């Protein structure tokens, strides 16, 4: 009897075990996915990380009545500093080192026929992908706010890449040609806060901030990579800067050609990419983030002016206020608003640098440059009119979205979803003003006629701007 039972049990096991095999640990691990393009900091192509995963749709019973947008320019061929410091030297070394037969080297064999995706003249210029992304953002905004009237003006700083980004967005936003004008604001070094590039007119800010700190982790994360690459190609002498530039090319080449062999995970592993990302995060933390005492000071005037536009009770000249700038201003505004603060739920401002250690990655940090300033990164602040929202009084509420993801405001979460009531928003705004006001004094302004406020949206002297022109002109076709 027993032997028969055992025989049947073995037969049953032979039938059942293969059936449950897909639930094994191996199968579960195989679902791991990693996209380097979502970990490239300021050179990441535009994407929406959905962090947090709250819905970008307006909460139940709420309708947007006004919105302000601050956008970084769309994808460019290469930042001049990135090219001069990392990409250019790597490319020159590659072109001058003709003794290596790359075709026989695993992971690097693509270098045998690889060509540089840009010329010196193309640096800082918008790519076709960038123009397309900016136009797509215009379409997205029009779909997101179907009840708001289209703006008569869009504002931009004066660099070609920001102007072209604004023009491309207008093409996606407007319904007819020459319906929306583009107002260009000069990138002056003596404009005080009344500009879309206030960091340039703040003597206390330096573009070199963060370089020393990020260099520490750059050396740490690249040491094993350079050792591996030099074992593959001993004659090339790969350096930390070479590795950093090669990984930057993953982003830049992708927005130029649509893809890049430098993104291959056989060349650089997910852990390698996370090391690159954290190096960039450290730099931005000390350059335009919470590690720089001047960041919130520079970011406050734009936020204060935008909040004032949203708090106006009048119908106002426009329902939408859209502006374009460079990578520096949006994160400074985030600091002024208290967004993406590693120490928000513990610690103190004095210990915020401890949340970005230089000897290891803080995987649970809120400050991730890939999430907050990829190409075309956009900040939206909405005024919502809510009526019949279950559990809340009727009235105006305010909400922030970064790359379409709703972001709760610090000490202001008394409305539907991630929104903040009008009274709560006014209190929150005053707290931020008290914390960061005094642009001219704290920046150490040494020129005359400085100002601590932004008036470009309401000052008639700024002018009405100019039309974009025929559609093909904006896209260079």
Q: Say what the pLDDT of residue 338 is.
A: 96
Q: Say what the pLDDT of residue 28 is.
A: 57
Instruction: Count CB atoms within 10 A of the CB of residue 61.
Output: 15
Which one, of 106, 42, 65, 102, lies nearest residue 282 by Cα? 42
- Distance (Å, whole) CA 61 – CA 58: 8
Tens digit of pLDDT for each residue in 164-216? 999 999 999 998 887 899 999 999 999 999 999 999 999 999 999 999 999 99
Long-range contacts from 444-448, C-beta under 8 angstroms, 24+ separation: 444/203, 444/204, 445/192, 445/201, 445/202, 445/203, 446/203, 447/190
Q: Phi/psi class of residue 411: alpha, beta or left (left: φ > 0; alpha: ψ in -120 to 50)?
A: left
Supply 43's token pair. 């050179």
Supply 345's token pair. 């739920």
Mean pLDDT in residue range 251-276: 98
Instruction: Locate the DSSP E strands across 296-410.
Output: 320-325, 378-386, 395-402, 405-406
- Can you give the pTM of this predicted structure? 0.91
Beta-sheet pairing, 62-72 with 378-386? antiparallel
Question: How much of the chain, in percent, has pLDDT values that exceed 70?
Answer: 91
Average model confidence (pLDDT) for the chain?
A: 92
Q: What is the largest CA-CA distance in the chain?
A: 103
Mean pLDDT in residue range 35-50: 97
Q: Say what the pLDDT of residue 245 is.
A: 98
Inter-residue contact 136 to 88 (CB < 8 Å)? no
Q: Say what the pLDDT of residue 352 is.
A: 86
pLDDT reading at 16 higher than 50: no
Burial 21-30 (b: 16+ CB within 10 A, else e): eeeeeeeeee
Mean pLDDT in residue range 219-223: 98
Tens digit of pLDDT for each residue in 26-35? 555 568 899 9
Tens digit of pLDDT for each residue in 330-342? 999 999 999 999 9
- What is the rounded radius of gyration, in angstroms, for the C-alpha atoms of the chain? 25
Supply 105's token pair. 């080297």
Beta-sheet pairing, 420-421 with 320-325? unpaired
Inter-residue contact 307 to 425 (CB < 8 Å)? yes
Tens digit of pLDDT for each residue in 54-93? 999 999 999 999 999 999 999 999 999 999 999 999 999 9
Split at pLDDT 50, 70, 90, the class of 21 is very low
pLDDT reading at 159 higher than 80: yes
Q: Say what the pLDDT of residue 346 is.
A: 59
Tell me, what DSSP letter sits at residue 52?
S
C-alpha distances in Å from residue 211, one per residue of 72, 149, 206, 217, 298: 22, 44, 11, 10, 20
Residue 2's contacts (CB-CB under 8 Å, 6 or more residues apart) are none
Beta-sheet pairing, 405-406 with 320-325? unpaired
Could you check whether the bond before residue 57 is cis, i.e. omega within 30 degrees of 0? no
């Amino acid at each position: 009897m027993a032997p028969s039972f055992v025989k049947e049990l073995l037969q049953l096991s032979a039938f059942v075990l293969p059936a449950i095999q897909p639930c094994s640990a191996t199968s579960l691990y195989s679902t791991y996915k990693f996209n380097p393009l979502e970990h490239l900091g300021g050179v990441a192509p535009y994407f929406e990380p959905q962090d947090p995963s709250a819905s970008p749709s307006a909460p139940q019973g709420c309708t947007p009545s006004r919105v302000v947008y601050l956008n970084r320019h769309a994808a460019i061929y290469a930042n001049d500093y990135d090219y001069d410091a990392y990409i250019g030297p790597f490319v020159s070394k590659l072109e001058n080192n003709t003794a290596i037969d790359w075709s026989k080297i695993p992971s690097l064999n693509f270098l045998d026929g690889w060509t540089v995706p840009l010329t010196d003249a193309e640096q800082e210029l918008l790519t076709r992908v960038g123009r397309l992304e900016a136009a797509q953002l215009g379409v997205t905004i029009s779909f997101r706010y179907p009840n708001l009237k289209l703006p008569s003006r869009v504002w931009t700083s004066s660099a070609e890449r920001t102007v072209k980004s604004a023009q491309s967005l207008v093409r996606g936003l407007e319904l007819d040609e020459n319906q929306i004008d583009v107002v260009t604001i000069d990138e002056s070094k003596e404009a005080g806060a009344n500009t879309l590039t206030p960091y340039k007119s703040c003597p206390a800010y330096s573009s070199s901030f963060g370089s020393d700190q990020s260099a520490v982790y750059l050396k740490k994360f690249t040491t094993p990579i350079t050792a591996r690459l030099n074992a593959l190609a001993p004659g090339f002498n790969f350096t930390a800067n070479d590795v950093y530039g090669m990984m930057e090319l993953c982003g830049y080449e992708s927005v130029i050609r649509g893809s890049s062999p430098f993104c291959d995970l056989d060349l650089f592993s997910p852990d390698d990419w996370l090391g690159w990302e954290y190096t960039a995060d450290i730099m931005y933390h000390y350059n335009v983030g919470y590690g720089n005492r001047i960041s919130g000071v520079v970011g406050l005037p734009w936020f204060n002016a935008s909040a004032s536009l949203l708090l106006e009770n009048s119908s106002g000249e426009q329902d939408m206020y859209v502006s374009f700038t460079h990578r520096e201003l949006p994160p400074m505004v985030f600091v002024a608003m208290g967004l993406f603060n590693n120490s928000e739920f513990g610690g103190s401002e004095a210990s915020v640098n401890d949340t970005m250690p230089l000897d290891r990655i803080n995987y649970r940090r809120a400050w991730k440059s890939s999430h907050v300033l990829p190409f075309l990164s956009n900040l939206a602040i909405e005024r919502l009119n809510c009526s019949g929202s279950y559990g809340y009084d009727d009235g105006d509420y305010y909400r922030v979205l970064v790359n379409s993801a709703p972001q709760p405001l610090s000490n202001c979460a008394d409305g539907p979803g991630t929104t903040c009531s009008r009274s709560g928003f006014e209190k929150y705004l005053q707290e931020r003003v008290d914390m960061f006001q005094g642009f001219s004094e704290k920046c150490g302004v040494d020129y005359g006629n400085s100002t601590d406020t932004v008036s470009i949206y309401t000052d008639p002297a700024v002018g009405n701007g100019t039309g974009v022109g025929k559609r093909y002109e904006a896209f260079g076709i």
